[in-house]
Structure 1
Amino acid sequence: MTKSSANSRAAAVRLLIRVLQKQQPLEDALDPVLQGFPARDRALTRAITSTTLRHLGVIDALIDKMLDRPLPEKAQEIRHILRIGITQILYLNIPSHAAVHDTVALVPDRSKHKGLVNALLRRIDRQGEKLLAKIDIPRVNTPAWLWESWVRHYGDETARLIAKAHLTEASLDISVKTDPGKWEAELNSELLPTGTLRRATITTLNELPGYDDGEWWVQDAAAALPAKLLGDISGKLIIDLCAAPGGKTAQLAAAGAKVIALDRSKNRLKRLTENMERLRLPVIVDVGDAESFVPDQQPDGILLDAPCSSTGTLRRHPDVAYLKSQADVEKLSGLQARLLDNSAQMLKTGGLLVYSVCSLQPEEGEAQVAAFLERNPLFVREAIKAEEIGGAGDLINSEGDLRSLPFHLGGMDGFYAARLRKISTSSA
């Protein structure tokens, strides 16, 4: 085993400990664990860890099926070692002999589990595909709290399609300031009907044409849709609430709006400011709490991309399934309601409020907006038309709101968005 492979595999185990035992988001754990790692080792470690999390339900089912008795609670690190070994054998293009040898070497020589790890990984090498064929992969790979919610709201067939889509890593989606047709060829990408450019392969961003010149930014195809729902905003005052890291802010500014980007986090706003400087887009940045923020001038429109459970982003962030719970959904739903109510107060009469979340949970989407409309009689829903989103009518639900699912358009984030108009008392 080379030092490089040992470091990458050992680091993957440390990352799993941080995510699954210490409840730390993978993105937050990467830099502390991988500090000083060469780019190649960082990439391997990240691939092993994220792929393990993406298939964790199935991997654990395989481990439990092969064990005569459960591993003791104090042997969690052994389970993590088994997890990354199975990932390498079944899901990554790593030769099995190297995956087995280098993973077993992570088990201390004095451990009574060394032989067990070796035996189980060799069995996976021999029988893994046969064992997989006996597993209901979409169901087993989805935590119960998510599966039950999706089946109740979407039905079993759609829940299965959602879970299946989460097994595939997301492509690189790009939003451009102008002329997507030109950049389709420049970036070796596909132009989606909604206007997003999609690259099948992910690469170092600053190596792609136009990045340093500020011509484009990375943004999932679904995340690019809510800003479009404000319509023609040239010259209008738009407040982007909870704005960081700034993908939607960039869309609004590129469309000619006067944009106030508000976020409560100075660190996140620092990143937004850096992004706007690279893109050469003028934006007013303000630190503040969107629950209580009062603007100097009532805006023509508000984009509220609210904090949420992020269950629509599992293709890119598979750790979310194990970091969040139904309790988080309920807590965040309360925050979303307060943000909506303050948005209603600050918006000018006749203005538009677009509410969005990257969540698949109805409590944060459909039910949230239904409750808002009940308690805010001065707002009415303005149904979205297919032509506003490139003719993608499948992304519009029966209420006229946006509801994208992870299997739509060849893969996109699960998103919900509603467009709400503030009317005058006389027209209510």
Structure 2
Amino acid sequence: MNKTPGLPARQGALKLIDAVLRRGETLEQAERAALKPIRGPADKALARALAGETLRWLADLDSLIDSATKKRLPDDAKPRAVLRLMLAGWLRLDTPPHAVIATGLPLLAGGPRRLAHGVFSTLTKREVTLPEVPTLPDAVQMRWGERASEIAKGLGDPPPLDLCLRDISETSARAVAMGGETLGPGNIRLPRGTPIDRLPSFDEGAWWVQDLAAQIPASLLGDGSGKRALDLCAAPGGKTMQLASRGWQVTALDISERRLDMLRENLSRTGLAAEIVCADALSYTPGKAFDAILIDAPCSATGTCRRHPDVLHRVGPRQIEEMVEIQRALAERAIGWMRSGNVLVYAVCSLESEEGEEQAMWIEQQFDLERLPVTSAELPQGIEPTAEGWVRTDPGMLEQDGGLDGFFVARWRKR
């Protein structure tokens, strides 16, 4: 057994990165197998951090590697993979170079250690640095166009911690008590790395973790006293809890029993109530009428890239096209259940126009809906609706306050 401290974490990180870049898995999907041999939460957290920072800065790490080699290493060469990890540890996690070498070179057992050592030593002697803003992969820059440079400004660091309050009237008081700030009613923002289960009022269920942007869709339905709402694709339940806390009688539907178990746990902790249905929305038929339907549609999730940098490298046109078809099928089915006067909110945590703006235009062309423009007063500080009355957020917005996820949200009423 190798006794080198920190080596198991590097081995786990290398497996995580390989799962993303070679097999197209998410970091979450890869974790069980990649981190199983690692003992202790600290080493597991280090493996996640190393993998995340490597994927966040991948293009820039590769540029540094290429600047120190006479012949370019193939993208899938193990020395490149190990050097990416070593540089991320040094430049992003402030690991001393001697510790990087001690834990990095053993990853190339039986391989070209001298090459990796030489490249890393060359770069440390040059005292190289990373740019202020990560360079996006070429394919991503092409998709996001003129917005890409602004979005990239919000991707340099993992995000802070956002909480959503059960009682929005307590926002100011709880923000002071927790030492946080608030960017809107019901929101408290705390520094990254804050231990969740040690925060005040965790056990009493006064709040739950939910990104600021993810709090917008449900908030656009307002007070729900005496009204019924259907939350499609509801798990793990942030939006369901928002609706329930604002008086809505909520039916929370999701296809995943495992994810619905998380929702049940969250409802139990917060003392909120909702009817839970495990079913495929495309074959489900509601037994009651609803006043509002919220579709938090399955999507490419590219808007979560600041917390899940793997999406920058594994999502492409094929995945986006598949999501577009699912989203349209869900919208068509949900709108078929609506009566005159009912409200529909459509949301995706995606930065792709095909899943956002283009979907909203398709919905308006296909169905007899009246657009309900979102107003500035309904949004967090610093976020403005689009000219169409929709909501478009991205990680480059509110950069000085820690940013937010990328979301698209639109709202209509059935005529």
The TM-score range, normalised by the shorter chain, is over 0.9
CA distance in 2, matches of 1:407, 1:209: 30
Alpha-carbon distance between aligned partners in 2 of 1:326 and 1:381, rounded to the nearest angstrom: 29
Q: Once superposed, which parts of structure 1, at least 4 consecutive aligned residues long, lie more than 4 Å away?
A: none
The letter for the 2-side match of 1:408 is: M
Partner of 2:406: 414
Unmatched 5+ residue regions in structure 2? Answer: none
What are the residue-to-residue correspondences of 1:111-122 with 2, within 5 Å?
A: 111=111, 113-122=112-121
Q: CA deviation at 1:66?
A: 2.2
Q: Does 1:368 align with 2:359?
A: yes
Structure 2 CA distance for aligned equivalents of residues 315 and 365 of structure 1: 19
- Residue deviations 1:11-55, cap 9 Å, x none? 111111222112221012223322352121112111111111110
Counterpart Cα distance in 1 of 2:343 and 2:251: 15
Q: Which residue of 1 aligns with 2:80?
A: 79
Q: In the alignment, what sits opposite 1:24?
A: 25
For residue 335 of structure 2, give the secondary structure of its aligned residue in structure 1. helix
8 A Cα contact 1:351 1:421, kept in partner: yes
Structure (1/2) with the larger helix percentage: 1
Q: Structure 1 residue 148: deviation in Å?
A: 1.1
Sort the Cα spacing of 1:235 and 1:86 in 2 relative to 1 into closer, same or farther, 3 A: same
The answer (yes or no) to whether the contact 2:227–2:291 under 8 Å persists in 1 is: yes
Structure 2 partner of 1:148:
142
1:349 is aligned with what amino acid? S
1:194 to partner: Cα distance:
4.9
Q: Deviations over 1:184-242 (max 9, x none)?
A: 12222111135411001323311111111111100000000110111221221100000
In structure 2, the CA distance between the partners of 1:244 and 1:11, relative to structure 1 (3 Å rule), is same
Q: Secondary structure at the match of 2:5?
A: helix
Aligned residues of 2:253 and 2:281 also touching (Cα < 8 A) = yes
- State the one-letter code of the partner of 1:335: I
Q: How does 1:56-205 map to 2 (within 5 A)?
A: 56-72=58-74, 76-108=77-109, 110-111=110-111, 113-129=112-128, 132=130, 138=134, 141-151=135-145, 155=146, 158-178=147-167, 179-205=170-196
SS, match of residue 190 in structure 1: coil
- CA contact under 8 A between 1:17 and 1:77: conserved in structure 2? no
Residues 357, 364 of structure 1: 8 Å contact kept: yes
Alignment partners' CA distance in 2, 1:118 and 1:326: 38
What corresponds to 2:57 in structure 1? 55
2:336 to 334, 345, 355: 345
Tell me if the contact between 1:100 and 1:122 (Cα under 8 Å) persists in the aligned partners: no
Distance 1:172 1:274 in 2: 20
Q: Distance in 2 between matches of 1:45 and 1:294?
A: 44
| Counterpart among 384, 387, 390 of residue 374 in structure 2 | 384
Count residues in correspondence.
408
Equivalents in 2 of 1:350, 1:380: separation in Å?
A: 10
Aligned to 2:296: 305
CA distance in 1 between partners of 2:199 and 2:325 (Å): 41
TM normalised by structure 2 equals: 0.94
CA deviation string 1:131-157 (max 9, x = no partner):
x56xx955xx21222211211xxx2xx
Cα distance in structure 1, aligned partners of 2:144 and 2:74? 32
Is the 8 Å Cα contact of residues 195 and 390 (structure 1) preserved in structure 2?
no
RMSD: 1.8
Counterpart-to-counterpart distance in 2, 1:106 and 1:333? 41
Pair 1:206-2:197 in alignment = yes
Instruction: Give the alignment partner of residue 220 of structure 1, picking from 197, 211, 221.
Output: 211
Q: 1:360-384: per-residue Cα shift (whole Å, max 9, x none)?
A: 11110011010111011x2011001
Alignment-derived partner of residue 426 in structure 1:
none
The alpha-carbon deviation at position 2 of structure 1 amounts to: 5.0
- Percent identity, please: 36
